[in-house]
Structure 1
């Protein structure tokens, strides 16, 4: 048991920006509260006056955000099997239908880099409500869409809501969970982000068997609305809020830079074209300008996306591993269904069911991996996990049209278990040593890089498959994962008990 006090007011951050602080600190009942004016360090922040610190529980706000994240991530993949149905129903070409995915990804690429600023400016509660209301609005728009243009608009609106959710979830986990328990919590996060994409194609296949495509939207709407209502009642702000204005130039440069990257990657499969050249020019110019602008703002009003996160060694390591690993993962996520449907001759709904055991295996193993990381450190699971992924990708390159279905499922399940052993610790390691005021920026950077790396991996491996064959593409994915194996030996051997870390030099 303990006592708690809530402090509110305006003060200055380490960066010299005014913040609105509203944090509850707790201390043992038998000890006196810290003297006035001295730093007050909480082992685990209390989210509301009525809540109590419980070291064995995941905070309620994290559970709520996990439910919301499950819905928006499920929605990302639930449309994957609907393209053929949409082409017939709306009278569109495959190239037009691809814009339903491209528009969604472009919106994510534009909004995610801004999410770090939005979280520190408006707070957890406000951004949760904005994200879920936006996502629900896009879902309703998709359900009532009468034409292709309206459907694309619905995907854009959904993407804007989805983009905020993962940085919001990761930031909240870092703010509410002490270091020694972050592996466990990240394991649960890993479970959600593994199971939701795996369920998407399966759920879509079953829905389309009995209903028309608008039910793909109506099916997720009730869950989104329940999460919105319960979250609206229970979610409260965590961490600090900075009272500063957005830098419009940074937003524009970010949109051209990151949006240009995703757009260019989506044009690669069509070969050299004016669209590809335009995308490359926009990406290069936007990213160079964005980095220059953020560096200038570091000594002034404050950057939109704080690149000083890269001054923390574990953040750099985690970002590199996540980039390479996610590129390989998303590339395989494109290749394996193509193999199952093209070479093996399976229908889309059956191919979706073939992917389900792997996603469920990742989800089941995630919390177990998290507990191991908390006890023994990340290296003990990342090293063997990355080796398993590299080996299994090489094995998957040998798959033939005559390979037994049970062996194909087993290959995917074992590879998925290896991915769980890599990604669960990496989420925690990447953000663990950031100072508190950089949590939101670090989460936004990590989510942005995941999106870009995933798009790059999918574009690269699908292009290799088109120019050569699927076996070569899988071997390249295995080679990419070998880089993760090498880097995994640089992971810490134990999780430090000290909360927080020195801030990067300003």
Structure 2
């Protein structure tokens, strides 16, 4: 991969004697390894169920706990970014990732592995907002597309190859080796960053409001946990889910109310006064819901209906993820040149076309058709995500950068939990409705036919969401930069 980062592109901050290239490379390395381990463990869930003698609902806590930690920490990342230097946060995030990965590699019990995943999530929750905020501070607005595209490559490529590589590892080794292989790479990342990471902001250390942090934890944590629990089989009628969602909504309402009345809020909601930020945020939330719901439905379809192994299913999903990652830098360059509208509108058209295709799949659908649709879907996603995000953040004044990145990263986590939960619940309800009144009760294929019926219902919901996104995309305008 050739990375064109030069002084001519405005990527060197001579005034502050900051060497931008090594800083960007440090984030690329750390981000790739961190996000790889985030998805790699998904392929090992069956092995973990067998090794630890636990139930499927228990093993899902490895994902729920990870998302819950992100949902709690990311909302306060705007405050964290103002209290500590870039170098301190970068090294701290990698220390958490290294400790979590090591604990996971030697984990003798499920409880220990669960703790390790939470520690890993702390590292990710610190790294991602720091990465985006650093780009906003270092890179001039007219050149951010390319660099955000490079970050998009990492963010898309690492999770895409995670399941495939871990599937290969599990074919020959135990699940522990997913972490043993990640560990030395994380050590390389922290050593490299220790030499080259520089401080690009000056900590202002605003007042810490403990009550706001508590309300944020209850609000965002409750919503993420509630939707995650519903999506993992708890069902919307579960008392646990209802209590979590009610507590989350109430906590979020009180959190927002408090932020609007504080002189120094921990999450400055003034970002919502900027229309292109709001539109970009909505588009990102929509595309995250569509993408993550698709990425949980398709593996289930490949393994349940087409009866493929986890490794084969991972290989079939790989080209789409690779396409998304590889196109991100290209879309960044096109964004810098043409602006967002002529990317996000065609992007949503492609997303809609593929969702219509997915809504027709059945027992006879070929693997090639699935691969083709997924590739086109990911091309569409790459045309939406980075342009919408970069254009929205570009409209914010520099003092709101930490808060803008905190809001975007937080709502991405919430959108992922919501999209996944709705997709799974629609899949379940569609399957149950079919089985309650099958066309031919004696047909041995009824369970598979019921599954595809549920699948169609889930993708129909995704189509509705994508249509809303397409309509909103027509209101996107290129931001006129009035600040440096």
The two structures share one fold, judged by TM-score above 0.5: yes
**Structure 2 residue 446 is matched with structure 1 residue 482:** no
Displacement of 1:97 after TM fit? 0.6
Q: How far apart, CA to CA, are the structure 1 residues paired with 2:31 and 2:25?
A: 10
Displacement of 1:47 after TM fit? 8.1
SS at match of 2:203: strand
2:13 aligned residue: 45
Q: How far apart, CA to CA, are the structure 2 residues paired with 1:401 and 1:220?
A: 38
Cα deviation 1:259-302 (Å, max 9, x = unaligned): 100111022232212211220222022111211221222x2xx1
Do the aligned residues in 1 keep the contact of 2:395 with 2:480 (CA within 8 Å)? no
Displacement of 1:498 after TM fit? 4.3
Match of 1:278 among 202, 220, 243: 243
Q: How far apart, CA to CA, are the structure 1 residues paired with 2:315 and 2:41?
A: 15
Displacement of 1:188 after TM fit? 1.1
Q: How far apart, CA to CA, are the structure 1 residues paired with 2:327 and 2:161?
A: 16
Do the aligned residues in 1 keep the contact of 2:93 with 2:122 (CA within 8 Å)? yes
- Equivalences, count: 451
1:293 aligned residue: 258
1:32-431 matches, cutoff 5 A: 45-46=13-14, 49=17, 51=19, 59-268=21-230, 269-271=233-235, 272-297=237-262, 299=263, 302-431=264-393
1:35 aligned residue: none
Cα deviation 1:193-225 (Å, max 9, x = unaligned): 111111011011011111111111111111111
Cα deviation 1:436-483 (Å, max 9, x = unaligned): 011111111100000000110000011001101101111211221111
Q: Which moved more, 1:233-242 or 1:173-182?
A: 233-242
Unaligned ranges ≥5, structure 1 = 1-25, 27-41, 52-57, 501-506
Q: How far apart, CA to CA, are the structure 2 residues paired with 1:495 and 1:293?
A: 30
TM-score normalized with structure 1 length: 0.86
Q: How far apart, CA to CA, are the structure 1 residues paired with 2:341 and 2:228?
A: 35
1:426-441 matches, cutoff 5 A: 426-441=388-403
Q: How far apart, CA to CA, are the structure 2 residues paired with 1:343 and 1:46?
A: 58
Do the aligned residues in 1 keep the contact of 2:351 with 2:380 (CA within 8 Å)? yes
Do the aligned residues in 2 keep the contact of 1:390 with 1:479 (CA within 8 Å)? no
Unaligned ranges ≥5, structure 2 = 1-6, 431-453
Which has the larger share of strand? 1
Q: Which runs of 4+ in 1 moved over 6 A?
A: none
2:415 aligned residue: 453
Displacement of 1:70 after TM fit? 1.0
Q: How far apart, CA to CA, are the structure 2 residues paired with 1:69 and 1:286?
A: 31
Q: How far apart, CA to CA, are the structure 2 residues paired with 1:104 and 1:473?
A: 25
SS at match of 1:236: coil
Which has the larger share of helix? 2
